[in-house]
Amino acid sequence: MVQLVGSLRKEVAESLSTCRVLVVGAGGIGCELLKNLVLTGFKNIEVIDLDIIDVSNLNRQFLFQKKHVGKSKAQVAKESVLQFCPTANITAYHDSIMNPDYNVEFFRNFMLVMNALDNRAARNHVNRMCLAADIPLIESGTAGYLGQVTVIKKGLTECYECQPKPTQKTFPGCTIRNTPSEPIHCIVWAKYLFNQLFGEEDADQEVSPDTADPEASWNPAETEARAMASETDGDIKRVSTKEWARSTGYDPAKLFNKLFKDDIMYLLTMDKLWKKRKAPLPLDWHQSTLSGRPQGEVKAVGLKDQQVLGVWGYCQLFQHSIETLRSELQEKGDGAELVWDKDDAPALDFVTAAANLRMHIFSMTMKSRFDIKSMAGNIIPAIATTNAIIAGLIVMEGLKVVSGELESCRTIFLNKHPNLRKKLLVPCILDPPCANCYVCASRPEVTVKLNVLKTTVLALQDRILKERFGMVAPDVNIEDGKGTILISSEEGETDANNGKFLSDFGIRNGSRLQSDDFLQDYTLLINVLHAEDLEKDVEFEVVGDAPDKAPPPPSNQEDASSIANGNKDSAQPSTSNAAAEVDDVMIVESEGEEEEEASSSSAAAVPTSGTKRKHLDDETGEASVKRPRTNQSHEAADAEDDDDDDDIIALD
């Protein structure tokens, strides 16, 4: 007869009390996950998170209270969880998981790693570290009512980077408020600003500088002090933006100087943010408008929505849109609120003007009204219930891993609407490794098309290796028979190369580069394809992936059990690589057969016109195969897809 300890088999309960697990992230999913782990019986938990607690976290991250604002998420989460289970052994790290201290040997200390992250860079990095350490990883993500949990095991399943991801549509609050680097960051900020001024105010949509940005101070005590100061008598007082705007009579000049001059000048005082970034340039209303149209600013021609105006033009649009929206508010009466609608001309004009002015301040190329309308889309807030469901599913998959039942693990999708079988949760058999993955293949190799006459060594390092391929500290050698070192991770060793072009080192069409990231235990071979016909504003294109297949899954039961704990002695570290506010979600519409009726071959069937597997967020993306849907639901589902997935930006 099976012996039970609570609801678990005795041997499973004993395994939980002895195994060590790592939780990466202590935010929306992380809070729920930590609570679930200790209540399930996990006793040895380590949690890492760089963030500090903000007021906007309190509506869904229930381990935190108002008194905790400004403190480390990881440390407070530990203290709160210990109240559920005082005998648990929990270690908290207020740090970035990408810190070199957390190397492959660190990851090998754990039986299981669980991700509760909100950005792609960290996800990619943890994916590679777990591959290198041969440790099972449970990946998860949410976007509004949608969610996903999957298990990743070297040689047995797809890794996180096996499938291409579309452009990230999830951004940390401090990026939106302090350090925007892409036009979408400025567009999200402008939509927040619309709600703060004219709509329903939301603490999650603050637009003033984030005084508690953890990147502005690497000293946790200093970060906490700044956050607490901002709550009391600090630098940026927490007053109602709408009330302040009303007190000025929605004066365009005062609003302009507050948003684009005073706030930017305050950001400049946070000098640590600008050591490796180009600092923003404040704008002044008087200088930008009263001098009239600058001589160099040519009047735009062509269709109105496709014109890109200059600073003077967007100042005029900013003024006109505020005056129009102010009149609409007055007509509605006291206490009225406006609702953002991308088809409402004054609302779109306001967001277009505000976003473009912020883009100019942060040295970005400004966008047309048409582009901004298509990018604005729908912002989906993080929902506590979704986080709770996903955290529960993580623990259920974790129990299978700890029990040595890796073959029974599944990818589970939480959908917004039930399928034809009335199911919101759709389990799917785990896919095998992708043969062309440039991370988990046996010999990762890619071909990069670029112009060797115009691409600098610094661009290769930052834009291609770090940003595109997710390396942290790459070392690059030219395979020229001499082993010429192009880039070194040792500080200052190859800085003199940064401004030189690749052609200066004899790199031409057909050259091969070997890039190593020793932290990630990852090596990538890069074939250079010289091209002078790249599209405008395109620096490079990735046109090839790894030619070799990933290692096959274990062929017998003994091997399967031996890798279940991720510590198989004979396993060699993978040459894993990597490519980063809300999360990676793939949504499966499965109105056809249930997962239990599917085989591995059917899960990887040849695509048909009725098959859909979609990414949402990292997230809305290209369709790939997962499950066939019935014909009767095809048109309805497609219509629903168009409605739900159009330009979605998910926020954590």
- Using CA atoms, how far apart are residues 361 and 364, in angstroms rounded to an integer? 8
Strands 611-617 and 445-450: what pairing?
Answer: unpaired
Residue 123 marked in a binding site: yes
Is residue 485 packed enough to be buried (19+ CB in 10 Å), middle (13-18) or exposed (0-12)? middle
Residue 347 marked in a binding site: no
Residue 335 marked in a binding site: no
Residue 30 marked in a binding site: yes
Residue 120 marked in a binding site: yes
Provide the sign of the torsion angle of the four alpha carbons 475, 480, 483, 486, taken in this order: negative
Q: How many CB atoms lie within 10 A of CB 83?
A: 10
Token readout for 142 is 């949410």
Secondary structure (DSSP) of 472-535: SS-EEEETTTT-EEEE-SSTTSSGGGTTSBGGGGT--TT-EEEEEETTTTEEEEEEEEE-S-PP
Q: Are 576 and 124 in contact (CB under 8 A)?
A: no
Neighbour-count burial for 293-304, b at 16+ CB within 10 Å, e otherwise: eeeeeeeeeeee
- Give Cα 642 to chain centroid, integer Å: 23
Residue 60 marked in a binding site: yes
Residue 119 marked in a binding site: yes
Strands 425-429 and 410-414: what pairing?
Answer: antiparallel
Token readout for 128 is 């590679």
Which of 19, 174, 409, 434 is an active site residue?
A: 174
Owner of token pair 């990292």: 618
Nearest one of 236, 229, 188, 234 to 209, comparing CA atoms: 236
Helix 345-361 / helix 311-332 crossing angle, nearest 10 deg: 140
Strands 137-143 and 112-115: what pairing?
Answer: parallel
- Using CA atoms, how far apart are residues 629 and 363, in angstroms rounded to an integer? 46
Token readout for 178 is 């302090």
- Assign 3-class secondary structure to 519-583: CCCEEEEEEEEECCCCCCCCCEEEEECCCCCCCCCCCCHHHHHHCCCCCCCCCCCCCCCCCCCCC
- Give Cα 245 to chain centroid, integer Å: 33
Q: Residue 10: phi, psi to the nearest 5?
A: -55, -45
Residue 410 marked in a binding site: no
Owner of token pair 């970005």: 364
Q: Residue 483: phi, psi to the nearest 5?
A: 70, 35
Q: Are 462 and 471 in contact (CB under 8 A)?
A: no
Active site residue 434: no
Residue 495 marked in a binding site: no
Residue 28 marked in a binding site: yes
Residue 482 marked in a binding site: no
Residue 437 marked in a binding site: yes
Nearest one of 584, 580, 579, 575 to 131, comparing CA atoms: 575
Q: Are 525 and 478 in contact (CB under 8 A)?
A: no
Residue 116 marked in a binding site: no
Residues 6+ apart with CB under 8 A from 483: 477
- Using CA atoms, how far apart are residues 418 and 315, in angstroms rounded to an integer? 47
- Give Cα 164 to chain centroid, integer Å: 14
Q: Which residues pair with 52 in a beta bridge?
A: 72
Q: Are 91 and 46 in contact (CB under 8 A)?
A: yes
Residue 253 marked in a binding site: no
Residue 335 is given by DSSP the state T
- Give Cα 450 to chain centroid, integer Å: 26
Residue 41 marked in a binding site: no
Q: How many CB atoms lie within 10 A of CB 608?
A: 10
Residue 631 marked in a binding site: no
- Using CA atoms, how far apart are residues 442 and 550, in angstroms rounded to an integer? 5
Residue 97 marked in a binding site: yes
Residue 277 marked in a binding site: no
Residue 121 marked in a binding site: yes
Active-site residues: which are they?
A: 174
Residue numbers belonging to the annotated binding site = 25-30, 49, 57-60, 73, 96-97, 118-123, 159, 162, 437, 440
Residue numbers belonging to the annotated binding site for ATP = 25-30, 49, 57-60, 73, 96-97, 118-123
Residue numbers belonging to the annotated binding site for Zn(2+) = 159, 162, 437, 440
